[in-house]
């Protein structure tokens, strides 16, 4: 029977897909290279033709995740039928869903020993997101929903504040109060940073959930 040879990019994607699926199910430390190649149905040597190590696969997964984040935020920012407040609420929703979908990998990246992987996100993601946030905030100013003279600086402050809150929540785990309290805190910070009417984010959030 003739040997089936696949396009190198297809084979590489298969290995990344398998590694991603296994890591999400059983965790990074519990996933061996032998598990990955077994799932794809190739020899171990094939894996090392594309990757130097399991960590190399993690880097490929990180690149894929970053592209997913970029596409998701671009989709939020380009919405035609939403005002700026609705877009920022969709921004929150996107990252909340993202964190849940990738929870095992997010947990892994937050481990102290993997600070170098987390740093890769911190170096690349803000640079992609800031222009899109700036676009949303400028829209809010034009709509009269936000009152800030410096939309670009507001975008930077917003991202840094939300990131800091997220890291604080992650570090303190269950010692930071209930989910509703944290949502109120995030909304309050956002309204103050953007010069929005107090309570307007919660008002819109309830409308979007159909509770008003």
| Residue 57 within a domain | no
Distance CA 162, CA 182 (A): 11
Distance CA 183, CA 73 (A): 20
Same domain, 45 and 68: no
Same domain, 93 and 20: no
Same domain, 90 and 38: no
Task: Please check the confidence at residue 86 and state whether its pLDDT lies above 50.
Answer: yes
| Residue 16 within a domain | yes
CATH number at residue 168: 1.10.357.10
> Considering its fold, how many domains does the chain have in total?
2
Question: For the chain, first and last CA: distance in Å?
Answer: 65
Same domain, 43 and 66: no
> What rounded mean pLDDT belongs to the chain?
85
pLDDT of the residue at 184: 86
Read off the pTM.
0.78
Same domain, 24 and 70: no
| Average pLDDT of the segment spanning 75-98 | 91
Same domain, 40 and 13: yes
| Average pLDDT of the segment spanning 180-200 | 90
CA dihedral 33, 34, 35, 39 (to 10 degrees): 110
The model's pLDDT over 29-59, given as tens digits with 9 standing for 90+, comes to 888 999 999 999 999 999 999 999 988 998 8
| Residue 29 within a domain | yes
Residue with the bigger pLDDT between 135 and 95: it is: 135
For the chain, give the DSSP string.
-PPP---HHHHHHHHHHHHHHHHHHH-STT--HHHHHHHHT--HHHHHHH-SSHHHHHHHHHHHHHHHHHHHHHHHHT-SS--HHHHHHHHHHHHHHHHHHTHHHHHHHTSGGGHHHHHHHHHHHHHHHHHHHHHHHHHHHHTTS---S-HHHHHHHHHHHHHHHHHHHHHHGGGS--HHHHHHHHHHHHHHHHTPPTTHHHHHHHHHTT--
Nearest to 61 by CA among 95, 113, 22, 6: 22
Structural domain boundaries, residue 72: 62-208
pLDDT of the residue at 177: 43
Angle at 196 (CA atoms; ends 201, 94), nearest 5 degrees: 40
pLDDT of the residue at 170: 47
Same domain, 44 and 145: no
pLDDT of the residue at 4: 56
Same domain, 178 and 155: yes
Percent of the chain with pLDDT over 70: 90
The model's pLDDT over 109-141, given as tens digits with 9 standing for 90+, comes to 777 777 777 788 778 888 889 999 999 999 999
Percent of the chain with pLDDT over 90: 47
| Residue 56 within a domain | no
pLDDT grade for 98, boundaries at 50, 70 and 90: confident
CATH number at residue 7: 1.10.10.60
Task: Please check the confidence at residue 62 and state whether its pLDDT lies above 70.
Answer: yes
């Amino acid at each position: 029977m003739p040997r089936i040879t696949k396009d190198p990019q297809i084979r590489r994607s298969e290995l990344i897909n398998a590694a991603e699926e296994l890591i999400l199910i059983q965790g990074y430390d519990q996933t061996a290279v032998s598990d990955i190649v077994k799932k794809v149905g190739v020899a171990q040597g094939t894996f090392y033709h594309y990757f130097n190590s399991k960590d190399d696969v993690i880097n490929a997964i990180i690149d894929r995740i970053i592209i997913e984040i970029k596409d998701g935020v671009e989709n939020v920012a380009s919405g035609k039928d939403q005002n700026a407040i609705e877009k920022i609420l969709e921004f929150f929703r996107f990252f909340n869903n993202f964190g849940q979908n990738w929870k095992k990998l997010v947990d892994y990246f937050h481990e102290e020993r993997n600070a170098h992987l987390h740093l890769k996100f911190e170096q690349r993601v803000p640079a992609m997101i800031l222009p899109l946030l700036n676009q949303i905030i400028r829209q809010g100013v034009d709509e009269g929903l936000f009152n800030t003279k410096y939309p670009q600086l507001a975008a930077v402050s917003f991202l840094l504040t939300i990131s800091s809150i997220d890291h604080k929540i992650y570090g303190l785990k269950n010692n930071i109060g209930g989910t509703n309290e944290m949502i109120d805190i995030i909304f309050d910070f956002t309204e103050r940073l953007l010069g929005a009417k107090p309570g307007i984010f919660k008002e819109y959030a309830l409308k979007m959930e159909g509770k008003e």
